[in-house]
Amino acid sequence: MLQQHIVWLTSLALMAFVASGFVFVVLNSGMREDDYAPLVKHAYRLRTRLFWGLVMVFGPAMIYTLADLPYDVSRAENEAGPVQIVEAVGYQWRWELSHDHVAKDRPVEFRVTSADVNHGFGIYNADMRLIAQTQAMPGYTNIIRHTFRDEGTYKILCLEYCGLAHHNMVAEIQVGDL
């Protein structure tokens, strides 16, 4: 929630910045051409400063976000125990899972596809928080790997509107000791 709030405030600030740029242009649009020379020089200086400002903001941000690589997909392979495989097929309007029980603390590989149209394969925990998701596409198998850390009932919901009974595309998967 806090993150969303920060992102929202940042977007607001940026939007205000862009809007003030427009206002600045409108207010100064009455000038003659030779009035522009100092303005152009000023703009170039501003551009250079803005460029380095962006480098200084996005450079560290990029390093910070990329430091997490490789993501869970490849990390899961190094965990104890063999990978558990669940084949998941989306239909209008239901999910077909090859297994609906998996063990916790061992990586699960979901091989997700669709028999008809595009669906979204979203795994939710008991608090209905989305913990992993991929697309279910006809003629293509998407793979996601996830290691469940908590026992309980997880839900699989369709994340892409796929017709009248889209909301009925709910399946459950039990995580526990096998």
The residues of the shown chain that bind ligand CUA, judged by CB under 6 A, are 90, 93, 119, 158, 160-162, 166, 169
Q: Which of residues 102 and 162 has its CB atom nearest to ligand CUA in the complex? A: 162
Question: Which of 100, 158, 151, 110 shows the shortest CA–CA distance to 130?
Answer: 158
Structure tokens at 113: 């596809």
Minimum CB separation of residue 35 from ligand CUA in Å reads: 59
The edge-to-edge listing of strands for the beta sheet with 142-147 is: 94-97, 84-91, 107-114, 142-147
Q: Which of residues 90 and 107 has its CB atom nearest to ligand CUA in the complex? A: 90
Minimum CB separation of residue 87 from ligand CUA in Å reads: 17
Q: Which of residues 37 and 164 has its CB atom nearest to ligand CUA in the complex? A: 164
How many Å apart are CA 117 and CA 138, to the nearest integer?
Answer: 6
How many Å apart are CA 91 and CA 84, to the nearest integer?
Answer: 23
Minimum CB separation of residue 90 from ligand CUA in Å reads: 6
Q: Which of residues 132 and 158 has its CB atom nearest to ligand CUA in the complex? A: 158
Q: Are strands 101-103 and 94-97 parallel, antiparallel or unpaired?
A: unpaired
Minimum CB separation of residue 50 from ligand CUA in Å reads: 43
Minimum CB separation of residue 155 from ligand CUA in Å reads: 14
Q: Which of residues 102 and 169 has its CB atom nearest to ligand CUA in the complex? A: 169
Contacts of 136 (CB under 8 A, 6+ apart): 88, 89, 90, 112, 113, 114, 118, 119, 120, 121, 142, 158
